Amino acid sequence: MQKIVIDPITRIEGHLKIEATVDGGEVKDAKCVGTLFRGFEIFMKDRDPRDAVHITQRICGVCPTSHGTTAALNLDAAFGVADKIPNNGRILRNLIQGANYIASHIVHFYHLAALDYVDVTEVADYDGTDPELLKVKDFISRALAAGDMSMLAPFYPRYEGDYRLPKKVAQAAVAHYVEALNMRRLAHELSAIYSGRMPHSVAVVAGGVTSHPSIDSISSFMSKLNTLRHFIDNVYLPDVIAVAETYPDYFGIGVGCGNLLSYGVFDLEANGTNLATRQRLFTQGTVSASDLTLHTFDPNKITEDIKYGWFKGETNEYPLNEVTEPDHTKAEGYSWLKAPRYENTPYEVGPLARMVVNYVAGDPVVQKMVNDTLAHFGAGPAALFSTLGRHAARALECKIVADEMVKWVMELKIGEPVCADYEIPESAEGMGLWEAPRGALGHWIKIENHKISNYQCVVPTTWNCSPKDGQGVYGPVEQALIGTKVRDNDNPFELVRIVRSFDPCLACAVHLVSPTGNEISRFRVY
């Protein structure tokens, strides 16, 4: 047996280590290791509850919008205004979050995952006239002539071997990599029209938002959104299809735990504090590969196991009752991630979960898109539970969200309220359930003496990259790795492709706190 250790996994958000034990070219055991301590829950204590919207956005610069909105939903419940959010406030929250979805999905495919499939050195033979691609050609040619591949960051270092895209397709993909940088910037500008800035919105608050729609802002929003929709329809979706056509074996690689969970996202109405039944664009529920049947979601069945996490305390606690206390000396621990479980079972969260839950729920738009995609590849629903299934779900979702945003922006009413009034209660509890681009995101709060007495976040990557639980059951990414065939232990393409298909965000799942400000370590990350 041999152990492959990839530390850190690059081209993700945050610090993640993967350990895979390989025997006979197959992964027999895997560990998903969060390498930094998560501590936001600790310094949230004794703060003004309204600070939660702003502080939790600093958990991550990629998905701050999701944390801000989830924190606002959490406070809506605690402040007793969850059923009083004005329509403008609800719609503007959706538009701000939708822009973040577009930015996140584009950056994930092009700037984080695509380099696993695209050989950028093919651009050295480019004979066209695209000015941006000619710049990349010159950049690559100089590095190749010097024999110094370190000059090619961020394209290098990389694993060698399994690049299959035809030369012309690879060259086009590199051009789209550059174009996607501008699309990401445009999506941030789209968000900032109503969020005030990106990252770290200042507009999303308890009760709704602080920004107001106007004729000029609606016009600007539509213009930028339509440019992004054109890119999604004519570049992003075709590129995902091109990769899938060239790597069809990845429809059977990286299956995972086979259980999917969605909290639902994008409120279509504000109808009280029950976030498990509120009408949303992407609905709530769970689905398992074994039966493809929609099951009702009950948030009271969420727990976190800390058997193999570096934490003290009771295991299998409901988030609101948890106490976050680190213990790096714990002998059996191997990660700074806890192990979220639903009905004591690991669940994968993210675009795949949202799309499959809506597919099984009978959403006609999702069903048509998914059926057309599966028919194109001559595949059945089982192919969705895979590395390529996650990429396809993310791209299709991006289109659905962008198209729905056109409808939402036209529902805004100029001059109508955007936020409900509230008072901070002396004591209260709240829960916010939402979906970050990467999956199910939950915030829980306890308020005592008008201040936060406990605040807990259970984030998407904590679900997906969790360690084993007390029953010895592996987390979703660990299960996706186990059983994988690895052709070359020195170039484990297969492993990083699987991990990146989940779009891990370790910045959300783990955090480092040094109250004295001391330097802990230095990293040079490629």
Q: Map 335-373 to HEC letters.
A: ECCCEEEECCECCECCHHHHHHHHHHHCCHHHHHHHHHH
| H or E element at residue 151 | none
In Å, how far are 15, 247, 355, 487 from 251, measured between CA atoms?
Answer: 27, 8, 16, 18
Q: Is residue 429 classed as helix, strand or coil in its secondary structure?
A: strand
Tell me the pLDDT tens digit for each residue of 445-500: 999 999 999 999 999 999 999 999 999 999 999 999 999 999 999 999 999 999 99
Runs of H (alpha helix) within 147-264:
167-195, 215-231, 237-246
Check residue 525 and give its pLDDT.
35
Q: Which pTM value belongs to this model? A: 0.94
- Which pLDDT does position 509 carry in this prediction? 67
For 291, other C-beta atoms within 10 Å of its C-beta total 9
| The two three-digit tokens of residue 397, written as one number | 């979702």
Q: DSSP 3-state assignment of 280?
A: strand
Instruction: Tokens for 320, please give them.
Output: 């609101």
Q: What angle do CA 361, 357, 463 make, to 5 degrees?
A: 155
Any idea which residue has 């659905």 for tokens? 400
Determine the distance from the C-alpha atom of residue 207 to the mean position of all C-alpha atoms in its chain, rounded to a whole number.
25
Angle between helices 167-195 and 87-107 (to 10 degrees): 150
What one-letter code names the amino acid at 80?
Answer: G
- Written as six digits, the tokens of 76 are 């809506």
| pLDDT score, position 510 | 61
Whether the CA torsion 356, 359, 365, 367 is positive or negative: it is positive
- Residues annotated within a binding site for Ni(2+): 60, 63, 505
Alpha carbon distance 450, 281 (integer Å): 34
pLDDT of residue 270: 74
For 185, phi and psi rounded to 5 degrees? Answer: -60, -40
Does an H or E element contain 47, and which? Answer: none
d(CA 20, CA 26): 9
Q: What domains appear along the chain, each with residue ranges and CATH number?
A: 2-118+163-495+503-509 (1.10.645.10)
Binding residues, as ranges, are 41, 60, 63, 505, 508, 511
- pLDDT of 513 reads 34
For the stretch 212-262, pLDDT in tens is 999 999 999 999 999 999 999 999 999 999 999 999 999 999 999 999 999
**Rg of the chain taking only CA atoms, in angstroms:** 22
Structure tokens at 214: 């106007």
Q: Are 143 and 120 in contact (CB under 8 A)?
A: no
- Residues placed in the known binding site for Fe cation: 63, 508
Question: What is the spatial distance between Cα 452 and Cα 325, in angstroms, rounded to a whole number?
Answer: 17
The answer to whether 105 and 395 have CB atoms below 8 angstroms apart is: yes
Q: For residue 209, give both structure tokens.
A: 């938002």
**Residue ranges for the binding site for Mg(2+)?**
41, 511
Beta bridge partners of 205: 208
Spans in the chain with pLDDT lower than 70: 38, 271, 509-526
